[in-house]
């Protein structure tokens, strides 16, 4: 479906002129998953940080070495019990949107638009040079450039890992093998925390890029249609 490009025309009398182009970039299911996921990710991070406040440390309780004192104002739930309610409720929404999104991408073939593959590798460095070192802008031929594909593919992996590490922390007996894979229960909790920050880093970069790419790009995640695409 994506890849459909239309010309936008305006007719006055007998005259029809092309006033712009638009590309259908985001199928409805992807847009739904994106926004539901944005909300659930917000809740998961906020409540996760409140949960972290109950024991802001890793390793032994005695002696406890606190890692950071996360301000309560930037957390969700108010107290440990409340935060757990949010976390254990929205994790199902988070997982469900992830499963629906991945299932849709795979079965529709839409993943080809965004999956980072070997042929994207040569395009990564020019894009990095453009974004971070004022290099020339590489020619844009598709909805996602190689660096974007890299980011969007990586963050899906991070999402899967956030769930896997979460289950290792939440169910260390029933899924003891998960904890074992991660280097033990302590490490599972550390990974869960690290992956959260990696996702936060992605979201930060994502929001910067959204701001830089302007209104049409933002609207495309709402309507599916990107007006005047660069390619």
Partner 1 sequence: MTDGMEPENAKPEMSEPKGDPGKPEPLVTDPLREHEKAAPPEVVESSPEPAKGPLPVAPASVRRASSIDARRFAGMSRRELLKLAPVLALGAFAIPSLQPSLLKKGLAFSDWVSARLFRSGHLAPTFADSEVVPFEKFPLNFYDLADPGVDFDNWSLTVTGLVQKPGDYKLDKIQALPRYRQNTRHICVEGWDVIGRFGGARLSEFLAMIGADTSARFVYVECADDYYETLDMATALHPQTLLCWEMYDRPLTREHGAPLRLNIPTKVGYKQAKYLTDLKVTNVVKKYGYWEDQGYSEFYGL
Please list, in sequence order, all residues whose beta carbon lies within 8 angstroms of the beta carbon of residue 160, skipping any fewer than 6 positions away. Answer: 98
Q: Which of positions 166-205 make contact with partner 1 (CB under 8 A)?
A: 170-174, 176, 185-186, 189
Question: Among 126, 152, 148, 117, which residue's Cα sits nearest to residue 212?
Answer: 148
Quick note: the x/- pattern for partner 1 over 74-113, rule CB under 8 A, is ------xxx-xxx-xxxxxx---------------xx-xx
**Residue with the two structure tokens 């469900």:** 96
Phi, psi dihedral angles at 198 (to 5 degrees): -65, -40
Shorter beta-carbon distance to partner 1: residue 39 or 208: 39
121 counts as binding partner 1 under rule CB under 8 A: no
* Orientation angle between helical segments 185-223 and 28-54, nearest 10 degrees: 150
Please list, in sequence order, all residues whose beta carbon lies within 8 angstroms of the beta carbon of residue 136, skipping any fewer than 6 positions away. Answer: 126, 129, 130
126 counts as binding partner 1 under rule CB under 8 A: no
Q: 43 and 36 in contact (C-beta within 8 Å)?
A: no
116 counts as binding partner 1 under rule CB under 8 A: no
Chosen residue from 142, 181, 206, 209 binding partner 1 by CB under 8 A: 142
Shorter beta-carbon distance to partner 1: residue 88 or 208: 88
CB of 38 to partner 1, least distance (A): 9
Quick note: the x/- pattern for partner 1 over 26-65, rule CB under 8 A, is --x--xx--xx--xx--x-------xx-xx-x--xxx-x-
d(Cα 174, Cα 220) in Å, to the nearest integer?
A: 42
d(Cα 10, Cα 26) in Å, to the nearest integer?
A: 24
CB of 79 to partner 1, least distance (A): 8
CB of 150 to partner 1, least distance (A): 14
Q: How many chain residues bind partner 1 (CB under 8 A)?
A: 74
Chosen residue from 123, 160, 161, 187 binding partner 1 by CB under 8 A: 123
* Orientation angle between helical segments 28-54 and 80-108, nearest 10 degrees: 150
Q: Dig out the tokens for 41 from the structure.
A: 């990710």
18 counts as binding partner 1 under rule CB under 8 A: yes
70 counts as binding partner 1 under rule CB under 8 A: no
List the end-to-end C-alpha distance of the chain, in Å, as a whole number: 17
């Amino acid at each position: 479906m994506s890849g459909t490009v239309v010309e936008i025309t305006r007719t006055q009398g007998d005259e029809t002129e092309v006033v712009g182009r638009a590309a259908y970039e985001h199928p409805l299911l992807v847009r739904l998953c994106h926004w539901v996921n944005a909300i659930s990710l917000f809740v998961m991070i906020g409540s996760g940080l409140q949960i972290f406040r109950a024991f802001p440390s890793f390793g032994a309780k005695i002696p406890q070495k606190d890692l950071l004192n996360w301000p309560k104002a930037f957390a969700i739930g108010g107290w440990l019990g409340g935060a757990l309610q949010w976390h254990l409720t929205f994790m199902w929404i988070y997982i469900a949107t992830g499963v629906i999104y991945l299932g849709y991408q795979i079965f529709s073939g839409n993943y080809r638009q965004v999956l980072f593959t070997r042929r994207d590798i040569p395009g990564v460095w020019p894009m990095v040079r453009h974004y971070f070192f004022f290099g020339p802008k590489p020619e844009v031929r598709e909805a996602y450039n190689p660096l974007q594909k890299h980011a969007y593919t990586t963050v899906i992996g991070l999402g899967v890992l956030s769930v896997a590490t979460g289950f290792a922390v939440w169910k260390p007996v029933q899924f003891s093998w998960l904890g074992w894979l991660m280097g033990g229960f302590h490490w599972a909790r550390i990974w869960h925390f690290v992956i959260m920050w990696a996702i936060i880093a992605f979201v930060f970069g994502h929001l910067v890029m959204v701001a830089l790419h302007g209104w049409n790009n933002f609207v495309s995640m709402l309507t599916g249609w990107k007006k005047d695409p660069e390619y």
